[in-house]
Amino acid sequence: MRYSDVTPKQVYLNRRRFLSAGAAAAAALTASLPSRATTKLDGVQPTSYKPAGEAVTSPDIITGYNNFYEFGTGKDEPAKRARNFKTSPWSIQIGGEVMAPKTLEYDAILKIAPLEERIYRHRCVEGWSIVVPWIGFPLSALLKQVQPTAKAKYVAFESLYDRKQMISEGAAGIRFPYVEGLRLDEAMHPLTLLTVGLYGETLPNQNGAPVRLVLPWKYGFKSIKSIIKITFVEKQPVTTWSREWPEAYGFYSNVNPMRDHPRFSQATEHRLGSGRLNDLRNTLLFNGYSEVASLYTGMNLIRDY
């Protein structure tokens, strides 16, 4: 059974819940949620990734409370402004330190590996968390297609920036296009998901359609949306938030309760949509995904944040 069957599509596409930012409280409001029509993804394998004892967050929160600066800095703005975002045709250019560079159309990307559902916890640097049923496949399946060379040490990612469809850099307060990066071993880790859907259907525009990354052990801004370019490089690439505010956002940005943001404590988090007021929880190192710990053996996780 798909999540889209459990929660009727017309319900969560026509409602939006606003939640006040911050870890102290969340207030839910109901309103009309503008969104493009999503389509059901067939042949999705059932999940083998599900955090024990965790309830999946309501769809109206996941689709109505978003960080997507290309469509606005308010959490409710992407759902409104991305309504007519054009995501077809779509392709991703993959190159750099590789032996077989490629440009892959969206339909070809869907055929690279079997689609599977994975229910991941997520932690935002602002102090809130959610649990999301993503659909995709390990990013490594895509990256192996281009045969990285021995010089490839990092992978750089770039989002689409279209001035005709998105807000200006001045309005967003950051430079575009949005760029991100991973060390090669992070990019190849089985938890790193190239994502094309959630709740049994294709991604809504405000959630990063049509293709994005999902990295459950890192803060949410590392999971770059609407990817158009992937480049293998030898040196650590520039990333948007480490460029805009390096004291707050490091290249790695692993979830770490001991390393505070200048404005936010990371020791606790507020679970959105849990139904409990002031549902504060202790933040876990790597967001509880201890299987990635070996990637950072010997590193100072306060300095290399």
Sketch out the chain's domains with CATH numbers: 3-296 (3.90.420.10)
Q: What is the mean pLDDT of residues 20-38?
A: 42
List alpha helices for 71-221, DSSP H: 77-81, 106-110, 139-143, 169-172, 184-187
Instruction: Identify whether the C-beta of residue 155 lies closer than 8 Å to the C-beta of residue 232.
Output: yes
- Token pair, residue 11, equals 């319900």
**Strands 16-17, 30-31: parallel, antiparallel or unpaired by DSSP?**
antiparallel
Comparing 173 with 53, the larger pLDDT belongs to 173
**In this predicted structure, what is the pLDDT of residue 150?**
98
Instruction: Identify whether the C-beta of residue 141 lies closer than 8 Å to the C-beta of residue 113.
Output: yes
Say whether pLDDT at 32 is over 60.
no
**In this predicted structure, what is the pLDDT of residue 11?**
35
At residue 88, φ and ψ (nearest 5 deg) are -145, 130
Say whether pLDDT at 161 is over 90.
yes
Instruction: Identify whether the C-beta of residue 200 lies closer than 8 Å to the C-beta of residue 42.
Output: no
**Strands 227-233, 201-202: parallel, antiparallel or unpaired by DSSP?**
unpaired
Instruction: Identify whether the C-beta of residue 179 lies closer than 8 Å to the C-beta of residue 242.
Output: no
Which residue, among 188, 140, 174, 146, has the nearest Cα to 249 in the 3D structure? 174
Q: Which residues contact 276 (CB under 8 A, 6 or more apart)?
A: none
Q: What is the pTM of this model?
A: 0.88
Instruction: Identify whether the C-beta of residue 17 lies closer than 8 Å to the C-beta of residue 64.
Output: yes
224-277 pLDDT per residue, tens = 999 999 999 999 999 999 999 999 999 999 999 999 999 999 999 999 998 787
